[in-house]
Amino acid sequence: MTLWPFRPYAPVRKPVAGIYRQLGNFTSEATLLSLSKSRLAAWQRIGQQRQSEIRVAIEQARSALAETRSGRLEQTPREEHLTVLIEASDLLFGWYIALVHLLEELSALHADVLPVLRLAIRQTGEICFWIAEAVQSDNANLAARFPQIEDSLSAITDIFNNQRFESSADGSRSVGFLHSIIDGLQTAGATTIALLRGEAAPVQSTSPSSAVATEPGMADGWRERISADRNVLKYALRLAIIPTLAHATGALLGINHSYWLTFTAVIVMQPTAAATFHRGLQRVEGTVLGGIVAALLAALIGSPFELAGALFPLVTMTLATLPLHYGAYGFFLTPVFVLLSIS
């Protein structure tokens, strides 16, 4: 593992970083092309395309994260970090669109506000670029730049905490959008630092008194959990019923090694029908292709040393692909079981 560093979340880091990189490009283009009426017309032509690209990037990142989780209900700390970054980017995307649209509407009467507002938007875009670089590279040294980023966000806040920006409705709206963007970037930045350092995801602090006042009892906690998310209860019932039926079917039909029916039912079952169907296809593909490989290896292997030489890379790849793709995991796992059973 020293020679081959294993980064199971790299397939998620890249699309998440891509979101923030596109947000940075979006702010740069928007502020540049809104400087004059001719450039504003150009921005209106390409702005919709940029927005569509960012929306696609957000959905791709969500899909990559869901694929990495492989249907697990509980999230790892890194998955929590990446989830926060994805959802923060979605909120930032909406606030940026609103602010840029307002930037297009501002007239020459706000000539004193526009340059400062454009500069502030571009500065927040630079922070998006830093988040993108830090998330994709996983370079802990980039955390040293975070205090400077916090200072720049504080400076932007101080500039817009000025009476002249509150003197008009448009100015007040721009300040509100910008404050929302700054709050979102602070959350994303703190989450990025936690991701780089391997720390827990940042949470908002609550006062001890409020925590004590709202802490539910055990019965209330179970009742609240069931009523708040019935999908969890439905998933638990399916996990209890389907494997039981699989075991009963195997026993009634007298199938040899019928416990594989039960194992397969438990492993393939996912919280949603779509995820279960997708997992089932991956199971079939991986098992069939892995069985073909196992048959070829079984015909070629003639000694225990050859068996050990074949099992080592297969077991390594089985463990390496488990968090990434269930089909690939099944492809490498099937030969392992087959070769061990006939050895």
Higher-scoring residue by pLDDT: 205, 17: 17
Model pTM score = 0.58
- The pLDDT tens digits for 102-119 are 766 665 445 566 777 777
pLDDT for 249-274, tens place per residue? 888 888 877 777 888 888 887 766 66
Average pLDDT, the chain: 77
pLDDT in tens, 142-180: 888 888 888 888 887 777 666 555 556 666 777 777 888
pLDDT single digits (tens) 40-74: 565 566 667 788 888 888 888 888 887 776 555 56
> Confidence band (pLDDT; 50, 70, 90) for 34?
low
Mean pLDDT, range 313-331, rounded to an integer? 85
Q: Report whether pLDDT(141) > 60.
A: yes
pLDDT of residue 209: 37
Q: What is residue 214's predicted lDDT score, i.e. its pLDDT? A: 41
Model pLDDT, residue 166: 58
- The ranges assigned to domains in the chain are 10-203, 231-342
What are the pLDDT digits (tens) for 174-208? 777 788 888 889 899 999 998 888 877 665 443 33
Mean pLDDT of 202-215: 42
Classify 10-203 by CATH class: mainly alpha
pLDDT digits (tens, 9 = 90+) for 69-101: 655 556 678 888 998 999 999 989 888 888 777
Distance CA 317, CA 320 (A): 5
108 phi and psi angles, rounded to 5 deg: -65, -15
pLDDT value for 204: 47
Residue 3 has pLDDT above 90, yes or no: no
Q: Is the pLDDT of residue 283 over 90?
A: no
